[in-house]
């Protein structure tokens, strides 16, 4: 995904996060056409999510200390979705803001988004909701099908509104293979509405709107939790706007030297405190899966803190010198690899582990075969990762790249 950021004059930036609050910026930060550290952040996000789902569906929790530690660590992987939201808010807002003077603003943006997103999304729906169940039925193994969804669920999925359905009815209303699509629906709805606001509002007013959306998201989550709609607080678009808004604020601030300097200083001051507040809240409550009486405010606040934390990480990442440890880590080939193929990995990894668990590829079964629980858990993750990577590579080279060639057409070029 292209960053959409236009190059600016280079800026003297700090070597490490601890220097950020003391940095003196002379002008705007320089963004190349593609920022390597963003691929790294995207790679971290997808790794978090995959580890979480591979644990949730493929690993049975044990009583040994190391098993409990692993379970608690893997269970935090869902926060990778919030990092995806921050990155999307940053990248999409940058693309839109820099192309506001384009005479074909809407056409180019929506067409390029369509070429990137729709082929794989609808290809997956056709494969896992129609073709694979039909083939397994003909082979007399319908129980292995990754999707047993109702026509209603498939209709919501095909119209990018599954997040509203899940929020109202609960995650179990759809098969495990489609449950993670709620986040893709939020992003698509964001793509649908945000271009109008970026084109209509001035930069400062747009930043103020982002602040209002953050507060509104917090309030709406509290309301949803108080009326016993915890899944709605997690999946409804208006309840998850704060992470997208944080990313948008970073993109808009980067277009003004004074605002960027202020944001960098605030990032240095807020990122670590946000993490210090998030950690104890996560340790004492599960605010995603169930309503906890008296804790709706704290539960809702944690989402906002996650957005602020990941927004700070984003600022620190783009500020890092090429020689710094932060830049080298986020620009590592491994993280950038996962970042490049994150879209397909996100779509395919969950149905993959669901099918694997149905055929016996889970920790209980592998423990019997290997005779060791640790080896079984490593094997579950290793096999699932290898298969998911193979699918993503095949999808990119044989399918997605062919569609992306359409971006070279003249009417899809930005002027």
Q: Each residue of 96-114: pLDDT tens digit? A: 999 999 999 999 999 999 9
Given a contact cutoff of 8 angstroms between Cβ atoms, the answer to whether 249 and 207 are in contact is yes
Q: What is the pLDDT of residue 26?
A: 30
DSSP codes of every residue in 306-351: HHHHHHHHHHHHHHS-TTSHHHHHHT-HHHHHHHHTHHHHHHHHHH
CA dihedral over 330, 2, 305, 256, signed as positive or negative: positive
- The CA-CA-CA angle for residues 61, 170, 130, to 5°, reads 90
Q: What is the pLDDT of residue 32?
A: 61
Tokens 């729709």 correspond to: 118
CA–chain centroid gap for 132, Å, is 27
User: Own/partner pairs for 20-26, CB < 8 Å, 24+ apart?
Assistant: 20/264, 20/265, 20/267, 20/268, 20/315, 20/316, 20/319, 21/264, 21/265, 21/268, 21/269, 22/268, 23/261, 23/264, 23/265, 23/319, 24/261, 25/257, 25/260, 25/261, 25/264, 26/257
Q: Residue 74's closest CA among 61, 64, 63?
A: 61
pTM: 0.89
Q: What is the pLDDT of residue 7?
A: 32
Q: What is the pLDDT of residue 21?
A: 38
Q: What is the pLDDT of residue 140?
A: 66
Q: What is the pLDDT of residue 284?
A: 60
Given a contact cutoff of 8 angstroms between Cβ atoms, the answer to whether 365 and 60 are in contact is no
Both tokens assigned to 53: 């789902």
Return d(Cα 126, Cα 132) in angstroms, integer: 9
Q: What is the pLDDT of residue 129?
A: 80
Q: Secondary structure of the chain: what % helix, strand, coil (to 5)?
A: 75, 0, 25
The mean pLDDT value of the chain amounts to 86
Q: Please report, in tens digits, the pLDDT of each residue of the chain (415 residues total).
A: 443 333 333 333 333 334 443 333 333 466 666 788 999 999 999 999 999 999 999 998 888 899 999 998 999 999 999 999 999 999 999 999 999 999 999 999 999 999 999 999 999 999 888 887 777 677 766 666 666 778 898 899 999 999 999 999 999 899 888 999 999 999 999 999 999 999 999 999 999 999 999 999 999 999 998 898 989 999 999 999 999 999 999 999 999 999 999 999 888 888 888 888 888 777 665 544 444 445 678 788 889 999 999 999 999 999 888 888 999 999 999 999 999 999 999 999 998 998 888 888 889 999 999 999 999 999 999 999 999 999 999 999 999 999 999 998 888 887 7
Instruction: Report the chain's C-alpha Rg in angstroms.
Output: 22
């Amino acid at each position: 995904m292209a960053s959409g950021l236009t190059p600016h004059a280079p800026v003297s930036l700090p070597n490490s996060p601890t220097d950020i609050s003391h940095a003196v910026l002379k002008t705007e930060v320089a963004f190349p056409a593609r920022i390597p550290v963003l691929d790294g952040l995207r790679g971290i996000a997808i790794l978090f999510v995959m580890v979480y789902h591979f644990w949730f569906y493929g690993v049975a929790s044990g009583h040994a200390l190391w098993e409990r530690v692993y379970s608690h660590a893997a269970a935090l992987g869902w926060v990778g979705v919030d990092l995806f939201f921050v990155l999307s808010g940053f990248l999409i807002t940058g693309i839109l803001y820099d192309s506001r003077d384009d005479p074909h603003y809407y056409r180019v943006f929506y067409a390029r988004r369509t070429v990137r997103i729709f082929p794989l999304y609808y290809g997956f729906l056709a494969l896992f909701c129609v073709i694979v169940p039909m083939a397994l039925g003909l082979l007399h193994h319908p129980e292995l099908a990754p999707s047993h969804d109702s026509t209603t669920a498939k209709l919501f999925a095909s119209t990018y509104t599954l997040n509203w359905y899940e929020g109202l009815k609960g995650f179990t209303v759809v098969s495990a293979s489609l449950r993670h699509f709620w986040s893709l629906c939020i992003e698509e709805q964001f793509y649908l509405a945000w271009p109008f606001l970026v084109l209509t509002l001035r930069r400062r007013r747009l930043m103020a709107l982002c602040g209002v959306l953050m507060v509104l998201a917090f309030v709406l989550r509290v309301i949803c939790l108080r009326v016993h709609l915890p899944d709605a607080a997690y999946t409804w678009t208006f309840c998850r706007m704060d992470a997208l808004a944080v990313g948008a604020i970073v993109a808009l601030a980067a277009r003004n030297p004074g605002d960027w300097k202020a944001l960098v200083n605030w990032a240095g001051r807020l990122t670590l405190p946000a993490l210090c507040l998030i950690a104890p809240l996560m340790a004492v409550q599960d605010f995603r899966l169930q309503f906890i009486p008296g804790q709706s405010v704290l539960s809702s606040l944690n989402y906002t803190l996650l957005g602020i934390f990941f927004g700070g990480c984003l600022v620190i990442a783009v500020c890092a010198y090429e020689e710094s440890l932060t830049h080298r880590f986020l620009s590592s080939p491994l993280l950038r690899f996962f970042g490049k193929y994150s879209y397909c990995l996100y779509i395919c990894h969950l149905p993959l582990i669901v099918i694997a668990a149905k055929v016996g590829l889970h920790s209980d079964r592998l423990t019997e075969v290997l005779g060791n629980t640790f080896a079984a858990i490593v094997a579950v993750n290793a096999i699932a990762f290898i298969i998911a990577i193979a699918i993503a590579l095949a999808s990119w080279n044989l399918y997605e790249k062919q569609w992306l060639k359409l971006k070279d057409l003249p009417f899809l070029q930005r002027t």
